[in-house]
Amino acid sequence: MGKPTGFMEYKREVPADRAPLERINDWNEFHLHMPDEDLRTQGARCMDCGVPFCHSGVLISGMASGCPVNNLIPEWNDLIYRNLWPQALDRLHKTNNFPEFTGRVCPAPCEGSCTLASIDPAVTIKNIEVSIVERGFEEGWIVPALPAVRTGKKVAVVGSGPAGLSAAAQLNKAGHTVTVFERADLPGGLLMYGIPNMKLDKRQVVLRRIKLMEEEGITFICNTEIGGSKFPTAKLRSDFDAVVVTTGATLPRDLPIDGRSLKGIHFAMEFLTANTKALLNGNDDFIPAKGKDVVIIGGGDTGTDCVGTSLRHGCTSVTQLEIMPRSPDERAADNPWPEWPKTHKIDYGQEEAAAKFGSDPRVYLTTATRFEGDQDGAVKAVHTVEVAWQKNEKGQFIPQPVPGTEQVRPAQLVLLAMGFLGPEQPLIDSLGLERDPRSNIKAEFEKYSTSIPGVFAAGDCRRGQSLVVWAFNEGRGAARECDRYLMGSSELP
- What digits encode the pLDDT tens for the residues 285-335? 999 999 999 999 998 999 999 999 999 999 999 999 999 999 999 999 999
The CATH architecture one would assign to domain 254-418 is 3-Layer(bba) Sandwich (3.50)
Helices (H), 154-223: 162-173, 207-215
- Which pLDDT score, from 0 to 100, does residue 228 have? 79
Q: Are 220 and 210 in contact (CB under 8 A)?
A: yes
Distance CA(411)–CA(289), nearest Å, equals: 10
Whether 254-418 and 6-139 are alike in CATH topology: the answer is no
Class of domain 154-250+421-487: alpha beta
Q: Under DSSP, is residue 387 helix (H, G, I), strand (E, B) or coil?
A: strand
Is the sign of the CA dihedral 449, 451, 453, 459 positive or negative?
A: negative
Distance CA(193)–CA(207), nearest Å, equals: 12
Q: Global pTM?
A: 0.95
CA distances, 103 to each of 175, 205, 374, 412 (Å): 28, 11, 45, 36
* Sequential pLDDT tens for the chain (493 residues): 668 899 999 999 999 999 999 999 999 999 999 999 999 999 999 987 888 999 999 999 999 999 999 999 999 999 999 999 999 999 999 999 999 999 999 999 999 999 999 999 999 999 999 999 999 999 999 999 999 999 999 999 999 999 999 999 999 999 999 999 999 999 999 999 999 999 999 999 999 999 999 999 999 999 999 987 789 999 999 999 999 999 999 999 999 999 999 999 999 999 999 999 999 999 999 999 999 999 999 989 999 999 999 999 999 999 999 999 999 999 999 999 999 999 999 999 999 999 999 999 999 999 999 999 999 999 999 999 999 999 999 999 999 999 999 999 999 999 999 999 999 999 999 999 999 999 999 999 999 999 999 999 999 999 999 999 999 999 999 999 999 999 999 999 9
- Which pLDDT score, from 0 to 100, does residue 1 have? 64
CATH superfamily of 6-139: Alpha-helical ferredoxin (1.10.1060.10)
Q: What is the dihedral of CA 489, 157, 200, 211, to 10 degrees?
A: 90
Specify whether the backbone of 459 is left (phi greater than 0), alpha (psi in -120 to 50) or beta: left
Q: What residue spans define the domains of the chain?
A: 6-139, 154-250+421-487, 254-418
- Which pLDDT score, from 0 to 100, does residue 100 have? 98
